[in-house]
Amino acid sequence: MWIPAPLYKRAPLYWLFLGLFLIVTSTYLAFQMNQPSFFFGSFAGVACCAWSAMTSWKRSLYPNHSREGVTESPEKA
């Protein structure tokens, strides 16, 4: 599957945003409704943030590899 280069480069930021959104939302719902969903939402949010950090870290280890694997346009694929 081909993913556009700008989307591929910013994917860790999307995961980080999703993780922080889940943490904030689950905390808000826990205070408002006293639901046990706080633990599930917080766990999923922390997992998304960890995935974002791991992805960024692995990409920083191989800066040339990330440029070779991503094509700038579908015509070059």
Say how many Å lie between the first and final Cα of the chain, rounded: 11
The tens digit of pLDDT for each residue in 34-60 reads: 777 788 888 999 999 999 999 999 888
- Percentage of the chain modeled with pLDDT above 90: 34
Structure tokens at 36: 């046990």
User: What pLDDT was estimated at residue 67?
Assistant: 53
What is the residue whose two structure tokens read 């860790």? 12
Q: Which has more pLDDT, 63 or 21?
A: 21
Structure tokens at 52: 């974002």
**What string of DSSP letters covers 61-73?**
H-HHHHHHH--SS
- Report the SS3 class of residue 35: coil
| In the chain, where the domains are located | 5-76
